[in-house]
């Protein structure tokens, strides 16, 4: 039996809204796994992005946390924008759309557009982008994946370019990202010497 969701955007209970977003995203991503040998459930990724924002942003809005949880549902699942708007409101939808790639474009065009669009994103979209890249690089380092050292370095360099366009929104989050980039480059370059 398919899951049905009721409209909760008028609820004053922020926790209910966030848990509803988690349930929705879990259902949408239920058959997806992260890249790598361990095949971690995909939902772990948006949960980590939302947790990072909850820790690093002072008084994050409910809309920010919900958009972080939903940030990949449009580009990676069959979710339609109207579903998000109807369930979580237009501001959440707009944030999710801001951070979603146009999957009709080639991989290289999508990646180039992320760099180009980053400086023009809203502050909340920039926060999601930084937390997303931080989570992806952490996973790249800590979970076995069949990527060459060069491919990993390219991903880190590209992520750094995206985040450069997102600076000025949260010092703590940006600092953590830059430390991770330095550590990642050091570890991957060290592996080349070993």
146-178 burial: b if 16+ Cβ within 10 Å, else e: eeeeeebbebbeebbbbbebbbebbeebbebbe
Of 105, 40, 39, 94, nearest in space to 71 by CA: 94
Domains of the chain: 14-193 (1.10.3210.10)
Cα separation, 130 vs 155, in Å, equals 14
pLDDT tens-digit map of 3-44: 555 554 445 689 999 999 999 999 999 999 888 777 889 999
Instruction: Please tell me the total number of residues recorded for the chain in this structure.
Output: 194
Active site residues: 75-76
pTM strictly above 0.85: yes
Which of 45-59, 132-146, 168-182 is predicted with the least confidence, judged by mean pLDDT?
A: 132-146
């Amino acid at each position: 039996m398919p899951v049905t969701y009721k409209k909760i955007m008028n609820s004053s209970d922020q926790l209910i809204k966030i848990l509803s977003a988690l349930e929705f995203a879990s259902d949408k991503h239920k058959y997806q796994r992260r890249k790598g040998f361990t095949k971690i459930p995909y939902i772990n990724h948006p949960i980590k992005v939302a947790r990072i924002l909850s820790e690093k942003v002072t008084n994050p809005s409910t809309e920010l946390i919900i958009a972080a949880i939903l940030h990949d549902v449009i580009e990676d699942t069959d979710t339609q924008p109207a579903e998000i708007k109807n369930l979580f409101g237009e501001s959440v939808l707009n944030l999710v759309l801001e951070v979603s790639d146009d999957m009709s474009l080639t991989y290289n065009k999508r990646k180039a557009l992320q760099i180009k669009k980053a400086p023009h994103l809203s502050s909340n979209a920039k926060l999601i982008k930084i937390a997303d890249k931080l989570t992806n690089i952490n996973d790249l380092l800590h979970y076995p994946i069949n990527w060459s050292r060069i491919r990993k370095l390219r991903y880190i360099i590209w992520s750094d370019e995206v985040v450069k366009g997102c600076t000025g929104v949260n010092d703590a989050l940006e600092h953590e990202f830059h430390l991770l980039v330095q550590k990642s480059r050091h570890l991957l370059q060290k592996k080349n010497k070993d």
